[in-house]
Amino acid sequence: MSDVSFYDYAALSAEEKAALLRRSEADLSGVIEKVKPIIEAVRTEGDVALARFARDFDRAENVTPHNLKVTEAEFDAAFKLVDQKVIDAIQFGIDNIRSFHEEQKPETMWMKEIRPGAFAGDRFTPIQSVALYVPRGKGSFPSVTMMTAVPAVVAGVPNLAIVTPPAPDGSVDAATLVAARLAGVSTVYKVGGAQAVAAIAYGTETILPALKIVGPGSPWVVAAKRLLSGVIDTGLPAGPSEALIFADDTVHGGLAALDLLIEAEHGPDSSAYLVTHSRRVAEEALAELPGLWAQMTPQRVEFSRTVLTGKTGGVILTSSIEESYEFVNSYAPEHLEILSKEPFDHLGRISEASEILLGQHTPCSIGNFGLGPNAVLPTSRWARTYGPLSVTDFVKRSSIGYVTAAGFPLLAGHAHELALYEGFSSHALAVSDLRQKYVK
């Protein structure tokens, strides 16, 4: 397929190799300038601004300042609009996701005796309010609702709300409402984009402010999170979808092509590369793509073709398996598939990827829709320092310390010496013999 971007990695210059690592939201300067007035309008006008932006951006003429919150009747109607097989698939995914995340939940508190009579540990408590962003612009994503809501509910967050863009008729995607109710979230607002992030950060007449917002979004959402990071905890950086398909010479290139299209079809701002040292695999993948596109819907063909023929996708032929490892670790992908008959042989060489799916029967589709691990993942190379969304994103940790009378003298003596050395006289006084004067 001549128009699919093809790269002979060993022949590229350092600048060309660096260009392959760039994502669509790498430069948000233009978007940020457009987002600033949106944020200010929401801060000053509240619900009126949200309704106006619903009309301007989502073409949702029926959204008003008075119907931004989804009603119980709308929740009930959603179950009649969604096919039972879809509801069953949502419930199946939620069950798996809950089972996985329950294993992540830390114990409420632990303590260890550090020295005789001196105890230290951690206590975990849920964050009091969190908003879950569920995108809609390029599709409907009940799976994102499942992935964000379930760990939040498992963590015990008492105040949860979903923000998601309305359809032109003013409705919220029915399957998203089904997933929300089945996961245990009853508050959903009809607002998306940068305006949703602003509404959650500042609060409006209808929307209660939250301490944190999580979930993937468009460059507009990413830009708003950056601008509001001093007002609200914006969670892990999750932007447009990205994936690397790593394939060795034991698999058919058609399989690599099949899975290369998964994340590429999310939208024209996605990133997707096949990385292989096998020319046979690369050529087979290129040959199979036209036939696969012929079986997809037109919109998804358009999205994936844009990605794979552009600057954020295609096929990368490396000169060796070691060079493939090097590229994967430099790219630090959101999703990584290791296509091989012996995928565990490669796992030890990969350190920089948020989600790693192993073998010929674990495509991103299964990871996205309910294997159990979370599919809300850091993008734009943030996999180097962030992990997937988890229960721990919805709890906060407090350090706990307790020293008995018997344990005090040993710790106090050492603390006294360091306090004097650092010049803190009140520190020293607090652990001096003077303390005994006040202890009863």
101 is catalytic: no
The helix/strand count (H/E) of the chain reads as 17, 13
Structure token pair of residue 260? 């290369």
- Gap between the Cα atoms of 6 and 315, Å rounded: 5
Do 354 and 385 meet the contact criterion of CB atoms below 8 Å apart? Answer: no
CA 252 → CA 270, 293, 320, distances in Å?
24, 18, 18
What strands, in cross-sheet order, belong to the sheet with 118-126? 109-115, 118-126, 395-403
Amino acid at 6: F
Query: Is residue 40 within 8 Å of residue 348, measured between CB atoms?
Result: no
**Do 397 and 124 form a contact (C-beta atoms < 8 A)?**
yes
Give the residue from 105, 82, 191, 117 showing the smallest Cα distance to 410: 117
Catalytic residue among 335, 337, 346, 355: 335
DSSP category for residue 211: S
Is the four-CA dihedral 292, 296, 298, 300 of positive or negative sign? Answer: negative
Spatial CA neighbour of 403 closest among 108, 121, 125: 121
Q: Which of 334, 337, 346, 355 is catalytic?
A: 334
Please tell me the distance from the alpha carbon of residue 243 to that of residue 270, in angstroms, as a whole number: 9
| Secondary structure of residue 36 in the 3-state scheme | helix
The rounded radius of gyration (Å) of the Cα atoms in the chain is 25
The CA distance from 193 to 50, in Å, is 10
Residues 6+ apart with CB under 8 A from 322: none
Rounded distance, CA 338 to CA 363, Å? 9
The answer for residues whose C-beta is within 8 angstroms of residue 13's C-beta and 6 or more apart is: none
Q: How many residues does the chain have?
A: 440
Please confirm, yes or no, whether 252 is among the known catalytic residues: no
**159 neighbors 429 (Cβ within 8 angstroms):** no
Q: Hey, what's the torsion of the CAs at 209, 212, 216, 221, to 10 degrees?
A: 50
Name residues whose C-beta falls within 8 Å of residue 392's C-beta, 6 or more positions apart in sequence. Answer: 104, 106, 155
Catalytic residue numbers read 334-335
